[in-house]
Copies of this chain bind each other. A is one copy, B any other.
Amino acid sequence: MKDYLKKDEWKIIEEGFNPSFNRISESIFSLGNGRFGQRANFEETYSGDTLQGHYLAGIYYPDKTRVGWWKNGYPEYFAKVLNAPNWTGIRFDIDGEVFDLSKCEVNDFKRILDMKNGVLERSCEAKLKSGRIVKIHSKRFCSIANDNIACIRYSFKAVNFADPIQITPYIDGDVMNEDTNYDEKFWEPISETADEHQAFIITETKKTAFQVCTGMQILIEKNGDQIDADNKSFTKDKYAEIAINTRIKDDQEIVVYKYVANITSENHPKNELQTICKKEVEAAAANGFNQLLADHQNAWAKKWEESDIIIEGDVAAQQGIRFNIFQLNQTYTGEDERLNIGPKGFTGEKYGGSTYWDTEAYCIPFYLSTADQRVARNLLVYRYKHLQKAIENATKLGFKDGAALYPMVTMNGEECHNEWEITFEEIHRNGAIAYAVFDYIRYTNDENYLTEYGLELLIGIARFWSQRVHFSNPKQKYVIHGVTGPNEYENNVNNNWYTNFVAVWCLKYTMYAINYVKSNAPAKFESISEKIKFYEVTETKVWKDIVEKMYFPVDTEKQIFLQQENFLDKEIIQVKDLPNEDRPIHQKWSWDRILRSCFIKQADVLQGIYFFEDAFDVETIQRNFRFYEPLTVHESSLSPCVHAILAAKIGDYDKAYEMYLRTARLDLDDYNNDTEDGCHITSMAGTWMAVVKGFGGMRIENDMLCFTPYLPSKWKGYSFKIRFRNRLLHIQVNQSGTSIRKVAGDELTIKVKDKDIRLVRDQSIQC
């Protein structure tokens, strides 16, 4: 846990230069616009410790799998988010001395991420080895008004010298991933062109053959006057630069404007990339930095208008929640159904692949409530489009007749991960993908989605479950052997309660969907059945039998669901009784010790109760929460939010607040000592849920939006906006109670604390 960032409601502020925190700050101060993004690497040369990272959505590389001991069914490659051409670089040589903060005495260092406006600023005074003192100030953004472009304004001031200086803005595609499996570079050069003001490189990924044109137009001023006299361009493979030689003296300021565009073959024909890129940088330069910034800020203002959460009386909490909302909005905008949400977004390369069950279990609720419902729908369609690959994946593992197993980690629908206990056994992900369909429809009422896409996907998943169970003779029940539940600290267990529960739920929901589509679109039902050779009677007969006779491990004495059937055979110790030096156990203990222990990485039984809360009375939730919470180490970032929501549900508000704190500032405070690898983007949606579903108590019950708000005692108040079925609602909770305002959309009846409230016009209603 670190505490080196200043608390501020709208800004993340780092004061003082601490190279050992540089990788962490590079993660936290990352920028993105849904289409591309990059870590907060310095523009100028930096020879200190840094993780260089520029990323382009959807541009990946299938890195050959690295495995110690191959097992049948493993994938051949791991599709990796690629470190893409570096477009931020600007080099400064003062009479041959390279300006490099790691070789300077640095004063007044300040880095600010202005979340309101989506802008990264940095300033400092630096004394070079030679004694020269410079002052720099940089400001950059990735435009969300035009997601092709980004701009940098970089000012460089001489304080105490007069010397020749060379300024070299460049684009460098000769980059690597730190996590490459075989020390390979993933990019091939295609072309490089440069003149006095513009430079373009086109690079192509090996194997996947994605092409990217990265271009820049530059403008350099000295004390306000444009200086273009001696610009010299230079190119080599995957690299282009424009160098300006001038002199600088005391108090003179050089300002570099770098207008950049990233254009990829995902969205444009390969032969037009450079033409489009050139148009974009020229248009950007013509508009100028201030205009582009203004457009960008306006776009952010709109986003905040709809997705902001305001917390009064707690700056740290306010900063934390805004940081999470900011990063989520930077990462995914929902405009492209081929894209998804990587666990690190544009902030790092770890976990390489893009899509985990995080999307369905944690992110969809956030986007459902804070963006047009088309955004969440696109995340669903993404999976529908991968259905064939999921069927191929299941076939590879020995399943048949159209059974679908979605991958644990994927980019294009193919499985990337290669640990048997995860890849083959963490099959509950299939349940979360089905659940997301239900969750989306429950929230939006867009039941037509079942007809269009949902049913086919659900049948594939139901077929998988019906083949994955077997009938146990001793138990006279269906069982599911050899799984890893959400708690990855137990592997290869039998009858994980969560997995069994979600499997049965999937079968039931699929049968509901069949009936719905049959009644509402019989022709479509016929055509789907024919397409996927679905034999309703015989197949659903088996499903019904499984639904009826599934085994659920329970302890009748404690009256709790058992995480897996042998759970109580373990030595039960509470987390509070673990010596501090043993934590986090995933760093301190060997794997077998973790597996044998009762310690839970993340909500498992409780994840199921969270998903299917309606199915359980409050006493059941309480008993299970009180048993499992003390055993949970929350070493997954996805855990505390679920515990926060359930704690609030059962009225354990102190625990809810404790859990909320743990998730809200996870990255800002580097709670798990791993922010240097990137931010925990998907778990940020969990933080949002902890406020809205936890403290706000938001639920859909009986097709009605409900709230049971609670005000944490440390807060003066909080408020958030919710989109719901084409309405926009504003919910405000403070010491005098809850007030609800319908900002936009038709009349609506909602429930607040079990009381029906009719929202007719745009006015606050105190409840």
Judging by beta carbons under 8 Å apart, are A425 and B68 in contact? no
A175 within 8 A of B: no
Inter-chain pairs besides A68-B68, A397-B593, 6 sampled, C-beta below 8 Å: A67-B67, A72-B588, A425-B592, A475-B569, A482-B592, A482-B595
CA gap between A73 and B424 in the complex, in Å: 23
CA gap between A328 and B722 in the complex, in Å: 76
Residues of the B chain whose Cβ atoms lie less than 8 Å from the Cβ of A471: 571
Closest to A427 in B: B592
A interface list, Cβ under 8 A from B? 65-69, 71-73, 396-398, 418-421, 424-425, 470-475, 479, 481-482, 491-492, 494, 565-566, 568-572, 586-593, 595-596
Judging by beta carbons under 8 Å apart, are A591 and B424 in contact? yes
The secondary structure that dominates the A interface is: loop
11 contacts between A and B (CB under 8 A): A65-B68, A67-B68, A68-B419, A73-B590, A397-B592, A420-B591, A421-B492, A481-B570, A482-B592, A482-B595, A482-B596
Residues of the B chain whose Cβ atoms lie less than 8 Å from the Cβ of A68: 65-68, 418-419
Number of copies: 2
Residues of the B chain whose Cβ atoms lie less than 8 Å from the Cβ of A398: 589-590, 593
CA gap between A68 and B473 in the complex, in Å: 38
- Pick the 3 closest A-B CB pairs, nearest first: A73-B590, A424-B592, A71-B591
Closest Cβ–Cβ distance, residue A422 to chain B (whole Å): 8
CA gap between A494 and B570 in the complex, in Å: 10
Closest Cβ–Cβ distance, residue A688 to chain B (whole Å): 30
Q: Choose among A69, A569, A571, A593 the residue with the greatest number of B CB atoms under 10 Å from its CB.
A: A569
Judging by beta carbons under 8 Å apart, are B473 and A568 in contact? yes
Closest to A593 in B: B398
Judging by beta carbons under 8 Å apart, are B424 and A590 in contact? yes
Judging by beta carbons under 8 Å apart, are A470 and B571 in contact? yes
Residues of the B chain whose Cβ atoms lie less than 8 Å from the Cβ of A570: 470, 481
Given contacts A589-B398, A595-B492, contact A569 B71 (CB under 8 A): no
Residues of the B chain whose Cβ atoms lie less than 8 Å from the Cβ of A491: 492
Judging by beta carbons under 8 Å apart, are B590 and A69 in contact? no
Closest Cβ–Cβ distance, residue A415 to chain B (whole Å): 11
Q: Choose among A65, A71, A396, A596 the residue with the greatest number of B CB atoms under 10 Å from its CB.
A: A596
Closest Cβ–Cβ distance, residue A418 to chain B (whole Å): 5
Judging by beta carbons under 8 Å apart, are A72 and B419 in contact? no
Closest to A418 in B: B68
Given contacts A492-B492, A587-B72, contact A420 B481 (CB under 8 A): no
Judging by beta carbons under 8 Å apart, are A589 and B492 in contact? no
Given contacts A66-B68, A470-B571, A471-B571, contact A591 B494 (CB under 8 A): no
Residues of the B chain whose Cβ atoms lie less than 8 Å from the Cβ of A421: 492
The contact of A72 among B472, B572, B586, by CB within 8 Å, is: B586
CA gap between A425 and B590 in the complex, in Å: 11
Judging by beta carbons under 8 Å apart, are A73 and B494 in contact? no
CA gap between A684 and B276 in the complex, in Å: 70
Closest to A471 in B: B571
Residues of the B chain whose Cβ atoms lie less than 8 Å from the Cβ of A419: 68-69
Closest Cβ–Cβ distance, residue A52 to chain B (whole Å): 23
Residues of the B chain whose Cβ atoms lie less than 8 Å from the Cβ of A420: 591-592
Closest to A494 in B: B566
Given contacts A472-B569, A474-B569, A571-B471, contact A590 B494 (CB under 8 A): no
The contact of A592 among B73, B566, B569, B589, by CB within 8 Å, is: B73
The contact of A590 among B72, B470, B586, B592, by CB within 8 Å, is: B72
Closest Cβ–Cβ distance, residue A545 to chain B (whole Å): 16
Closest Cβ–Cβ distance, residue A130 to chain B (whole Å): 42
CA gap between A470 and B420 in the complex, in Å: 27
Closest to A73 in B: B590
Closest to A565 in B: B566
Closest to A183 in B: B182
Residues of the B chain whose Cβ atoms lie less than 8 Å from the Cβ of A565: 566
Residues of the B chain whose Cβ atoms lie less than 8 Å from the Cβ of A494: 566, 569
Closest to A587 in B: B72
Residues of the B chain whose Cβ atoms lie less than 8 Å from the Cβ of A595: 481-482, 492
CA gap between A72 and B568 in the complex, in Å: 25
Closest Cβ–Cβ distance, residue A424 to chain B (whole Å): 4
Q: Choose among A67, A482, A568, A587 the residue with the greatest number of B CB atoms under 10 Å from its CB.
A: A482
The contact of A596 among B418, B481, B596, by CB within 8 Å, is: B481
CA gap between A46 and B475 in the complex, in Å: 62
Residues of the B chain whose Cβ atoms lie less than 8 Å from the Cβ of A73: 590-592
Judging by beta carbons under 8 Å apart, are A72 and B591 in contact? yes
The contact of A396 among B72, B568, B586, B590, by CB within 8 Å, is: B590
CA gap between A588 and B396 in the complex, in Å: 10
Q: Choose among A68, A419, A565, A572 the residue with the greatest number of B CB atoms under 10 Å from its CB.
A: A68
Closest to A569 in B: B472
Residues of the B chain whose Cβ atoms lie less than 8 Å from the Cβ of A569: 472-475, 479, 481, 494
CA gap between A420 and B590 in the complex, in Å: 9
Closest Cβ–Cβ distance, residue A390 to chain B (whole Å): 15
Q: Choose among A66, A482, A592 the residue with the greatest number of B CB atoms under 10 Å from its CB.
A: A592
Residues of the B chain whose Cβ atoms lie less than 8 Å from the Cβ of A481: 566, 569-570, 595-596
Closest Cβ–Cβ distance, residue A742 to chain B (whole Å): 49
CA gap between A475 and B424 in the complex, in Å: 31
CA gap between A588 and B398 in the complex, in Å: 9
Closest to A475 in B: B569
CA gap between A475 and B566 in the complex, in Å: 11
CA gap between A595 and B570 in the complex, in Å: 22
Residues of the B chain whose Cβ atoms lie less than 8 Å from the Cβ of A591: 71-73, 420, 424
CA gap between A391 and B66 in the complex, in Å: 30
Closest to A424 in B: B592
CA gap between A65 and B73 in the complex, in Å: 22
Closest to A181 in B: B68
Residues of the B chain whose Cβ atoms lie less than 8 Å from the Cβ of A572: 473
Q: Choose among A69, A424, A425, A591 the residue with the greatest number of B CB atoms under 10 Å from its CB.
A: A591
CA gap between A397 and B71 in the complex, in Å: 25
Closest Cβ–Cβ distance, residue A471 to chain B (whole Å): 7
Closest to A419 in B: B69
CA gap between A419 and B595 in the complex, in Å: 14
Residues of the B chain whose Cβ atoms lie less than 8 Å from the Cβ of A566: 481, 494, 565-566
